[in-house]
Amino acid sequence: MNIKIYHNTRCGSSRKACAILEESGQTYEVVNYIKTPLSTDEIQELLDRLGISPMELVRTKEKVWMENYAGRTLTDLQIVEAMQQHPNLIQRPIVVKGKIAVIGRPPELIKDLLEI
């Protein structure tokens, strides 16, 4: 089954997730969503697989969020568009296996996903 990790090389949790995938021996694809930002459709697809709302995927402590979006009433589409424009707002790492995805914090969630 196809495994994909949405990875930020500057994130320690993301690097741990890659190590877990490597140790598993399973083949996986790495998507550096900072270098190649996701489209709004791709973000929405991730949200569907994660089973969460757009706001649950946002890193609300990021400076760009605090300065531009915090305290505003935003639609789900506006939140998705903010993540598309500012990829560092997306929680990480995200690991997708088939139609299921997890945010890999704690890392044990990735191990659980790999066993499915």
Instruction: Give the pLDDT confidence of 66-76 residue by residue, as tens digits.
Output: 999 999 999 99
User: Count of domains in the chain?
Assistant: 1
Whether 107 has a pLDDT exceeding 90, the answer reads no
pTM of this structure: 0.93
Local confidence band at 1 (pLDDT 50, 70, 90 cut-offs): low
For the chain, give the mean pLDDT: 95
To the query of whether residue 11 is one of the catalytic residues in this protein, the response is yes
- 17: Cβ–Cβ under 8 A, 6 or more apart, which residues? 5, 7, 93, 95, 104, 107, 110
Which residues span the domain enclosing 106?
3-114
What's residue 116's pLDDT? 83
> What count of residues does the chain have?
116
pLDDT in tens, 44-83: 999 999 999 999 999 999 999 999 999 999 999 999 999 9
User: Backbone phi, then psi, for 104, in 5-degree steps?
Assistant: -80, 45
Q: Check 7, 8, 10, 11 and give the catalytic one.
A: 11
Q: What CATH number should be reported for the domain holding residue 37?
A: 3.40.30.10
Whether 5 has a pLDDT exceeding 90, the answer reads yes
- 98: Cβ–Cβ under 8 A, 6 or more apart, which residues? 1, 2, 116
The Cα 83–Cα 23 span in angstroms is 30
What's residue 9's pLDDT? 87
Local confidence band at 11 (pLDDT 50, 70, 90 cut-offs): confident
Q: Within a 10 A sphere around the Cβ of 75, how many other Cβ atoms?
A: 9
